[in-house]
């Protein structure tokens, strides 16, 4: 164990955007608690690659939408590392079926909300209370909360409305936690990715290849997980110390209004 190194919990950290974040933080000197749904053996290549970057890595298999699983995950981190400096709420799901608003089911809505919004909200609550305890014991203790949202928090996509609403909720949660944690000197940020090449976007590669070629983005390329990872690492360096509650866009200019 590295007692002087900061510890970051990254949900969904063994693949896609989460792995890009984990790689950046491992290279920045963090030890890592990596959360995922897969068996640890299936995630081992990614975990070993993070260890090769110098990080001590604890794998926490847990569904962030499950209350008991969240509590067990934090207990495991406390037992292994004894501290938690950073929570990166990254884990998320897309609807299993991209259904029109007129046809979407309550079951899909509830599943997406539980994973993308309710789970992170209450994981943040638990982690925030632990961070407050750590700061009371040591006023110099560094802590930070980061939410990974999506341009879908503001860009309407009627065939996956539950996903858009969940990410809009994450955006508001960032503001709420920023206000609440300010008295404890814990900054809260939102990183809002655009079209990122990952497992989630694999089924729509051809669609977005065409849209990007037609000028959808100012920077005409797919975003990569490491683009998001660099943004998170920059925030955790403390480069924006007077900007709690703010959104960092990582979207290749998608959100720029153009004529």
- The set of catalytic residues is 163
62 touches 69 (CB < 8 A): yes
Closest CA to 245 of 191, 194, 193: 191
- How far apart CA 2 and CA 144 sit, in angstroms, is 19
- How far apart CA 61 and CA 35 sit, in angstroms, is 6
User: What are 103's two structure tokens?
Assistant: 């046809």
Place of tokens 């847990």: 62
- How far apart CA 107 and CA 114 sit, in angstroms, is 11
Taking the CA atoms of residue 144, residue 148, residue 153 and residue 159 in that order, the dihedral angle to the nearest 10 degrees is: -160
17 touches 223 (CB < 8 A): no
Helix ranges (DSSP H) in the chain? 16-27, 40-52, 67-80, 106-113, 119-137, 161-181, 205-213, 225-236
3-class state of residue 79 by DSSP: helix
């Amino acid at each position: 164990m590295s007692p002087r190194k900061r510890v970051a919990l990254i949900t969904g950290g063994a693949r896609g955007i989460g792995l890009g974040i984990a790689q950046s933080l491992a290279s920045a000197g963090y030890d890592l608690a990596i959360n995922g749904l897969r068996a640890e053996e299936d995630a081992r290549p990614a975990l070993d690659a993070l260890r090769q970057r110098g990080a001590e890595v604890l794998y926490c298999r847990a569904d962030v939408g499950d209350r008991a699983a969240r509590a067990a995950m934090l207990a495991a981190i406390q037992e292994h590392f004894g501290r938690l400096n950073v929570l990166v709420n990254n884990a998320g799901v897309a609807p299993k079926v991209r259904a029109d608003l007129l046809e979407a089911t309550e079951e899909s809505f509830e599943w997406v909300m539980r994973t993308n919004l309710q789970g992170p909200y209450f994981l943040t609550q638990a982690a925030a209370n632990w961070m407050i305890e750590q700061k009371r014991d040591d006023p110099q203790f560094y802590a930070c909360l980061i939410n990974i949202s999506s341009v879908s928090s503001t860009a309407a996509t009627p065939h996956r409305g539950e996903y858009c609403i969940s990410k809009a909720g994450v955006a508001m949660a960032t503001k709420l936690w920023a206000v609440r944690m300010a008295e404890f000197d814990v900054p809260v940020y939102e990183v809002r990715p655009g079209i990122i090449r990952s497992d989630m976007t694999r089924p729509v590669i051809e669609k977005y290849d065409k849209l990007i070629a037609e000028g959808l983005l100012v920077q005409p390329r797919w975003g990569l997980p490491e683009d998001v990872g660099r943004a998170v690492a920059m925030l955790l360096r403390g480069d924006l110390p007077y900007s709690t509650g703010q959104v960092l866009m990582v979207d290749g200019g998608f959100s720029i209004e153009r004529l």
